[in-house]
């Protein structure tokens, strides 16, 4: 599998971080993913104590909720914020539909207390950290990649991103092993009960043993390809290492401007071996804090070089890891972006808008964003229809990223 290292310095567009949804067939079978079956997913910022998590959280949420103090456990309780997902597509659609109002998609993010070695055994704020992380769907794993003698490091003075990544991952694995032992004990009791499906229980026990063997090899659950039936069982346990991860290497301003960091290659190699399919992004929490305070256009110049915020690219990377795409409903009144799990059908998209629309769904009209991207206002739907750019779809159509959808339903609720 290809390595997924990317350097986000403002020149990587959100489109380059999105996977194309290939299937648009009628009647396609829904894809199963690890994690909650929801279109409203959240992420938590985790990592060792005192590596810049709260500074990152403040920057990405444009808030002062976190506490970026220079000592361990500056954050005690998980802070929560909802951020707006920037969308060039929404801007363009609002323009051509001449919409009076724009409603962007949002994304929930938590700043979680810092981890320490032996957290799974309860040291530091370990129990609280591991409890908080169970509540989120994806992980922003923040890792220190800068040198600064004035910033305390929990593991001493030497900066070592691979070591830090291993510490956090090992603690998550140890906690998942606890969940497996508890699950196996419960299943063993169930096997002794009358009138139970012993074949199903045996199958679940066999799978948990397979997962346990994987974790013993220090491999995360998310690194392996699982069948839909296996995913259904794994999701019951809400394992920590099953949550998709975006690794964020927090570097100095100079490294971010140059796009180079002496630790990134080693971290890249580690992720490719231990967290296959997950991404590593380089950013600077210190620079993001400056951008928040000093920049109006999201950029800063230094020695003839310009750097732009990496935050929206980071958000898009997490949305990709969570298999989230966007579809739109548009009119002269409102252009609205909605989040949807990749592989979902159009009637499920209708349910995101309103449950009644899914219940009374009849059909939909779909426009592809690629057919609208060059259009100027006002939009000419008659021309789109005449040129076969308007697609009438039944309930089993699989929604693609960027689709503009009009729902026909038997109730009065229509979008």
pLDDT value at position 210? Answer: 97
pLDDT in tens, 235-265: 999 999 999 999 999 999 999 999 999 999 9
pLDDT value at position 49? Answer: 77
Q: Are 81 and 57 in contact (CB under 8 A)?
A: yes
pLDDT in tens, 65-85: 444 443 343 343 457 888 899
Q: What DSSP letter does each residue of 54-81 carry, written as one string?
A: HHHHHHHHTS--S---SSTT---SPEEE
Higher-confidence residue of 300 and 346: namely 346
Higher-confidence residue of 274 and 78: namely 274
> Which distant-in-sequence residues (6+ apart) come within 8 Å of 205 by Cβ?
184, 187, 188, 191
Higher-confidence residue of 26 and 234: namely 234
Given a cut of 60, whether residue 3 has pLDDT beyond it is: no
pLDDT value at position 19? Answer: 36
pLDDT value at position 59? Answer: 87
Given a cut of 80, whether residue 391 has pLDDT beyond it is: yes
Please give the average per-residue pLDDT across 91-116, as a whole number.
91
pLDDT value at position 300? Answer: 82
pLDDT value at position 149? Answer: 76
Q: How far is CA 125 from CA 118, 166, 396, in A?
A: 10, 18, 47
pLDDT value at position 117? Answer: 66
The pLDDT confidence band at residue 125, using thresholds 50, 70 and 90, is very low
Higher-confidence residue of 36 and 95: namely 95
Domain 345-409 has CATH 3.40.50.1000: no
Higher-confidence residue of 199 and 63: namely 199
Q: How far is CA 88 from CA 93, 94, 145, 295, 372, in A?
A: 9, 10, 31, 20, 13
pLDDT value at position 157? Answer: 66
| pTM listed for this prediction | 0.84
Give the CA angle between residues 42, 45, 51 to the nearest 5°. Answer: 175
pLDDT value at position 155? Answer: 62
pLDDT value at position 265? Answer: 96
- Point out the least confidently predicted range of 105-119, 254-268, 312-326: 105-119
Given a cut of 90, whether residue 30 has pLDDT beyond it is: no
* Residue 128: Cβ-neighbour burial (10 angstroms; 0-12, 13-18, 19+): middle
pLDDT in tens, 401-413: 999 999 999 865 5
pLDDT in tens, 363-378: 999 999 999 999 999 9
pLDDT value at position 153? Answer: 63
pLDDT value at position 105? Answer: 93
Write the secondary structure of 161-224 as one string of H (helix), E (strand) and C (coil). HHHHHHHHHHHHHHHHHHHHHHHHHHHHHHHCCCCCCHHHHHHHHHHHHHHHHHHHCCCCHHHC
Q: Are 163 and 48 in contact (CB under 8 A)?
A: no
Alpha carbon of residue 279 to chain centroid: 11
Tell me which H or E stretch contains 251: none
Architecture per CATH, 5-321: 3-Layer(aba) Sandwich (3.40)
Angstrom distance (rounded) from CA 40 to CA 292: 27
pLDDT value at position 51? Answer: 82
* Residue 163: Cβ-neighbour burial (10 angstroms; 0-12, 13-18, 19+): middle
Beta bridge partners of 393: 364
Q: Are 168 and 47 in contact (CB under 8 A)?
A: yes
pLDDT value at position 13? Answer: 29
pLDDT value at position 284? Answer: 94
Angstrom distance (rounded) from CA 414 to CA 396: 18
- Point out the least confidently predicted range of 83-87, 237-241, 266-270, 335-339: 83-87
CATH 3.10.20.30 segments of the chain: 345-409
Angstrom distance (rounded) from CA 311 to CA 180: 36
pLDDT in tens, 31-48: 689 998 888 899 999 988
The two structure tokens encoding residue 115: 């981890």
User: What mean pLDDT is reported for the chain?
Assistant: 84
Preceding peptide of 378 cis, ω within 30° = yes
CATH 3.40.50.300 segments of the chain: 5-321
């Amino acid at each position: 599998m290809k390595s997924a290292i990317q350097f986000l310095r403002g020149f990587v567009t959100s489109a380059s971080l999105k996977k194309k949804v290939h299937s648009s067939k009628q009647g396609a079978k829904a894809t199963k993913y690890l994690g909650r079956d929801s279109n409203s997913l959240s992420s938590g910022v985790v990592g060792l104590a005192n590596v810049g998590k709260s500074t990152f959280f403040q920057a990405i949420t444009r808030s002062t909720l976190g506490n970026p103090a220079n000592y361990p456990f500056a954050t005690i309780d998980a802070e929560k914020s909802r951020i707006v997902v920037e969308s060039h597509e929404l801007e363009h659609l609002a323009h051509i539909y001449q919409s009076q109002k724009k409603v962007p998609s949002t994304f929930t993010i938590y700043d979680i207390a810092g981890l320490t070695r032996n957290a799974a055994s309860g040291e530091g704020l370990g129990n609280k950290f591991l409890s908080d992380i169970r509540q989120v769907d994806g992980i922003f794993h923040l890792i220190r990649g800068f040198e600064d003698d004035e910033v305390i490091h929990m593991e001493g003075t030497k900066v070592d991103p691979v070591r830090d990544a291993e510490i956090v991952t090992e603690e998550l694995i140890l906690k998942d092993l606890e969940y497996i032992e508890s699950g196996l004990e419960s299943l063993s009791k169930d096997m002794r009960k009358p009138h139970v499906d012993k074949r199903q229980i045996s199958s679940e026990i066999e799978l948990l043993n397979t997962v346990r063997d994987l974790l013993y090899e220090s491999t995360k659950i998310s690194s392996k390809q699982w069948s839909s039936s296996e995913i259904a069982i794994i999701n019951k346990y809400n394992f920590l290492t099953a949550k998709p991860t975006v690794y964020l290497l927090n570097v100095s301003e100079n490294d971010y401007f140059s796009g180079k960091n002496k630790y990134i290659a080693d971290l890249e190699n580690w992720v490719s071996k231990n967290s296959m399919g997950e991404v590593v992004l380089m950013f600077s929490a210190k620079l993001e804090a400056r951008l928040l305070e000093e920049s109006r256009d999201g950029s800063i110049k230094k020695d003839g070089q310009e750097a732009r915020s990496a935050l929206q690219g980071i958000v898009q990377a997490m949305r990709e890891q969570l298999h989230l795409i966007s579809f739109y409903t548009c009119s002269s009144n409102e252009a609205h972006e909605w989040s949807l799990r990749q592989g979902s059908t159009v009637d499920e998209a209708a349910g995101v808008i309103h449950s009644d629309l899914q219940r009374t769904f009849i059909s939909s009209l779909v426009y592809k964003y690629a057919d609208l991207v060059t259009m100027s206002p006002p939009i000419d739907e008659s021309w789109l229809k005449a040129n076969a750019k308007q697609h009438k779809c039944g309930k089993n159509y699989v929604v693609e990223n960027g689709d503009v959808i009009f729902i026909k339903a038997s109730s009065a609720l229509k979008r």
